[in-house]
Amino acid sequence: MNIFIKQFDKVITPSLIGRVKGGSALFLLLFTFLSCDTNNCLLETKVQCVYGFYASARSDDGAFAAGEAISVADTITITAMGINTVLANRLVNQSGVKLPVSYYGDVDSLLFTFNATDGTGYDTLYISKRNIAHLDDPSCPAHMWHNITSVHSTHNLIDTVLVSESNINYDGLENLQIYFRTAQE
């Protein structure tokens, strides 16, 4: 006679089945809740080039030396060349300025007009840059960031321009230091 013995698999504990079911419901609830979108857009997202005004100094041999931060007494108007749009109008006693940067231009050309009691002076500043589109989150607006590759200018009233921070982004750090010729020179 054949001996046939059937072994049953281990019986599932009812309480554990309950825990699996309960846990599954909790898991789905938690998962659904955590799947909800949250909007993490930054509040401060202005992308502007930050300029600081400085007085230039010259050593005895005529070499450039960095001077101190100053407030420019002349009235300064800054115009974007090419589109003839005034970016800053009649600045007086300012120690710096924040200006927009073109989204797609390789070089921004800015005309500085200085009005003083003894006349009017002009300088042109050329900023070469790389433009980088930036999107933090699809629910937030996109912006353009920039990386300054070089700057140069005419030298009527502007002595030297230095790049202090080449990345123009949300940080708001001072990007360019403009050294003006002072009356003592």
Partner 1 sequence: MLLLPSLPTAAQDTLSVEVGDTVKVKLPKKKDKEKRVYWGTAVGGDLVGLVMKAFGSEWSFMEVMARVNLKDKYFPVLEVGLGEADHEGNDLDYRFKARAPYFRAGMDYNINKKHNGNRLFVGVRYGFSFFNYDLVSPTPLTDPVWQTSHPFNYESLHGSAHWAEIVFGLETRLWKFIRIGWDIRGKFRIAQQTGEVGPPWLIPGFWKNDTTGWGGTFKVLVEL
The residues that touch partner 1, with contacts defined as CB under 8 A, are 1-7, 9-10, 12-13, 16-17, 19-20, 23-24, 27, 30-31, 34-35, 37, 39, 80, 82-83, 85, 87, 100, 102-105, 132-142, 144
Distance CA 40, CA 4 (A): 67
Our CB check for partner 1 shows the closer of 4 and 63 to be 4
Least distance from partner 1 to the Cβ atom of residue 35, Å? 8
Which of 36, 63 has the CB closer to partner 1?
Answer: 36
DSSP assigned state of 14: H
DSSP designation for 103:
S
State in angstroms the smallest separation of the CB of 175 from partner 1.
17
State which residue, 20 or 173, has the beta carbon closest to partner 1.
Answer: 20
Q: Residue 61 or residue 104: which is nearer to partner 1 going by CB?
A: 104
With 0-12 CB in 10 A as exposed, 13-18 as middle and 19+ as buried, what is 141?
exposed
We find the least distance from the C-beta atom of residue 103 to partner 1, in angstroms, to be: 4
Selection from 92, 51, 90, 53 nearest residue 70 by Cα: 53
Q: What are the CA-CA distances from residue 15 to residues 24, 28, 29, 102 (Å)?
A: 14, 20, 21, 67
Shortest distance (Å) from residue 148 CB to partner 1? 16
